[in-house]
C-alpha cells in the first residue's frame, strides 16, 4: 500500500508526479512498471554524471566502509575537496577558502551570514531568481507559492532581472541600463542597510535566463563601490553545466563569494559550498555557523570524485560545445513558433508565442514526452518553458534518441 504523504510534500503541479522510479544508470531511469526514460531533468543538475556513476558508487562505498563521518568534520577528504574546488573554481583567487554546507539553500544562507559579518544588513536580490526553500531563502526567492513574507520586508530589496518580456518593445541593453540606474539609486539611498548583492547570473529553476556578463560586471563594480559584498549563486548552473567551472569567473566578473551545490553531490547526497577570498571567509566569528553533516568525509569524497571525473573526461569544456550543437540540431527539428535558448548543457524550449495557451501546451509536452520516454521539466515564471538538462556525460546515442522523441512530438502536433 502506498503511504500517504502530507499534501504539501509532493509536487502535485508536476505532470510527472505519478511516476515512481526504482532504478537508474547513466542517463536512463526505470519506473516501477519497467518503463525506461531518458532523464533530461537529472535533479535539476544534481545528477551531473547521470545516475549511479560506477566511479562515484565505488568511491562512496569505499568511503562508507572506512570513515563516513568525522567529528567537527576534520578529514583528509575535506582538505582534498577544498583544494580541488579552489583549484577549479577560484583559480584567480590565490588565498581562497571554502566552507561546506549540506545544501544549496544553506550555502546561500551562509553567504548572507558572512556578508552580514562584514557589514550587517539586508539583501539586494533579483526577481526571477531562486535560492532555495529554507525559511531564509524562501523569503528571497521568486516562488509565487511562498512569497516574501518570512523576512521583514525591510531586509530585502528587489531588482528586476534583465530580460525583455515577450511582446514588449525595447532592447536588452536598454533594459540593463535602466536596472543599473535603479540599482545605483537604491544603493545611494540605502547602501548602509544592505550587506549583500545576491545574483543568480544564469537563472535555473525559474526559466533559463542569462544576464549579460557586462551587466553583471558593472553591477558588481557598483556594489563594491558602496562596500556591498557580491554573491553569485551558481548552485544549479555552476560546476560545469554552462561549460565553465564558475559562471561569473568565465564571464569576466569577480563576485566576492560563489555558492555551489547540486552537482557537487553527484546525485548521491545533498551538498553545498561557499567560497571566496580569505578576507571575507574569515570574517564570520566562531559559533555562528555549523551543521552536523556538513563536510563529512563521505560527502567530501564524493565531491572530490565528481570534480576528478569532470576534469579527467574534460566534461566541462565539452559541455559548451555539445550544448550549442544540441540546440542547433533542435532548431532544425522544431517549429519556429517555439523558442530555443540555452548555454552549455542547459536548454529551454519556450512556448511564449502561444500566449496564455503556452503553459498548457508546455505541460502537455512534458507529459507526452514522458510517455515517449523522455523526462524534461516545466520551468519559467509562466511555466511555459521546457527545461532540458542532461548529465554532462550524456552519450551521443542518448542525445540522438532524445532529439528523435522531440521531433516525433513536434510532428504529431
Ligand X SMILES: Cc1ncc(COP(=O)(O)O)c(C=O)c1O
Q: How far is the CB of 102 from ligand X (least distance, A)?
A: 8
Q: How far is the CB of 138 from ligand X (least distance, A)?
A: 10
Residue with Cβ nearer ligand X (176 or 258): 258
Residue with Cβ nearer ligand X (131 or 175): 131
Q: How far is the CB of 312 from ligand X (least distance, A)?
A: 25
Residue with Cβ nearer ligand X (247 or 406): 247
- One-letter-per-residue 3-state SS of the chain: CCCCCCHHHCCCCCCCCCCCEEEEEECEEEECCCCEEEECCHHHHCCCCCECCHHHHHHHHHHHCCCCCCHHHCCHHHHHHHHHHHHHHCCCCCCEEEEEECCHHHHHHHHHHHHHHHCCCEEEEECCCCCCCCHHHHHCCCCCCCCCCCCCHHHEEEECCCCCCCCCCCCHHHHHHHHHHHHHHHHHHHHHHEEEEEECCEECCCCCEECCHHHHHHHHHHHHHCCCEEEEECCCCCCCCCCCCCHHHHCCCCCCEEEECHHHHCCCCCCEEEEEEHHHHCCCCCCCCCCCCCCCHHHHHHHHHHHHHHHHCCHHHHHHHHHHHHHHHHHHHCCCCCEEEEECCEEEEECHHHHHHHHHHHHHHHHHHHHCCEECEEECCCCCEEEECCCCCCCHHHHHHHHHHHHHHHHCC
Residue with the shortest CB distance to ligand X: 104
Q: How far is the CB of 254 from ligand X (least distance, A)?
A: 19
Residue with Cβ nearer ligand X (109 or 305): 109
Residue with Cβ nearer ligand X (207 or 297): 207
Binding site for ligand X (CB under 6 A): 44, 103-105, 108, 130-132, 200, 204-205, 233, 235-236, 261, 270
Q: How far is the CB of 335 from ligand X (least distance, A)?
A: 30
Q: How far is the CB of 353 from ligand X (least distance, A)?
A: 26
Q: How far is the CB of 372 from ligand X (least distance, A)?
A: 26
Residue with Cβ nearer ligand X (129 or 406): 129
Residue with Cβ nearer ligand X (343 or 409): 343
Amino acid at each position: 500500500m502506498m503511504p500517504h504523504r502530507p499534501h504539501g510534500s509532493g509536487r502535485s503541479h508536476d505532470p510527472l508526479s505519478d511516476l515512481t522510479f526504482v532504478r537508474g544508470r547513466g542517463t536512463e531511469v526505470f519506473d516501477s512498471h519497467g518503463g525506461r526514460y531518458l532523464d533530461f531533468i537529472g535533479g535539476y543538475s544534481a545528477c551531473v554524471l547521470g545516475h549511479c556513476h560506477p566511479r562515484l558508487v565505488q568511491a562512496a562505498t569505499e568511503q562508507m566502509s572506512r570513515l563516513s563521518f568525522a567529528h567537527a568534520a576534520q578529514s583528509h577528504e575535506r582538505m582534498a575537496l577544498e583544494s580541488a574546488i579552489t583549484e577549479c573554481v577560484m583559480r584567480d583567487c590565490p588565498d581562497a577558502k571554502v566552507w561546506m554546507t549540506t545544501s544549496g539553500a544553506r550555502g546561500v544562507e551562509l553567504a548572507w551570514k558572512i556578508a552580514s559579518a562584514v557589514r550587517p544588513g539586508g539583501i539586494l536580490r533579483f526577481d526571477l531568481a531562486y535560492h532555495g526553500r529554507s525559511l531564509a531563502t524562501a523569503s528571497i526567492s521568486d516562488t509565487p507559492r511562498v512569497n516574501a513574507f518570512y523576512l521583514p520586508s525591510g531586509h530585502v530589496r528587489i531588482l528586476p532581472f534583465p530580460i525583455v518580456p515577450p511582446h514588449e518593445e525595447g532592447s536588452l541593453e536598454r533594459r540593463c541600463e535602466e536596472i543599473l540606474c535603479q540599482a545605483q539609486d537604491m544603493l545611494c539611498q540605502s547602501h548602509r542597510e544592505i550587506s549583500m548583492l545576491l545574483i543568480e547570473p544564469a537563472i535555473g529553476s525559474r526559466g533559463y535566463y542569462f544576464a549579460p556578463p557586462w551587466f553583471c560586471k558593472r553591477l558588481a563594480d557598483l556594489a563594491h563601490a558602496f562596500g556591498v559584498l557580491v554573491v553569485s549563486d551558481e548552485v544549479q548552473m555552476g560546476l560545469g553545466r554552462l561549460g565553465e567551472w564558475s559562471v561569473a569567473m568565465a564571464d569576466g566578473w569577480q563576485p566576492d563569494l560563489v555558492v555551489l551545490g547540486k552537482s557537487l553531490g553527484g546525485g548521491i547526497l545533498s551538498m553545498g559550498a561557499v567560497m571566496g577570498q580569505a578576507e571575507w571567509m574569515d570574517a564570520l566569528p566562531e559559533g555562528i555557523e555549523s551543521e552536523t553533516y556538513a563536510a563529512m568525509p563521505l560527502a567530501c569524497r564524493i565531491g572530490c570524485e565528481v570534480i576528478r571525473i569532470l576534469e579527467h573526461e574534460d566534461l566541462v569544456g565539452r559541455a559548451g560545445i555539445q550544448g550549442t550543437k544540441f540546440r542547433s540540431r533542435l532548431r532544425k527539428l522544431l517549429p519556429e513558433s517555439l523558442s530555443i535558448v540555452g548555454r552549455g548543457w542547459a536548454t529551454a524550449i519556450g512556448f511564449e508565442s502561444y500566449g496564455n495557451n503556452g503553459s498548457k501546451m508546455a505541460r502537455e509536452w512534458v507529459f507526452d514526452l514522458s510517455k515517449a520516454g523522455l523526462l524534461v521539466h516545466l520551468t519559467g515564471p509562466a511555466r511555459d518553458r521546457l527545461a532540458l538538462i542532461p548529465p554532462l556525460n550524456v552519450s551521443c546515442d542518448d542525445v540522438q534518441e532524445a532529439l528523435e522523441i522531440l521531433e516525433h512530438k513536434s510532428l504529431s502536433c
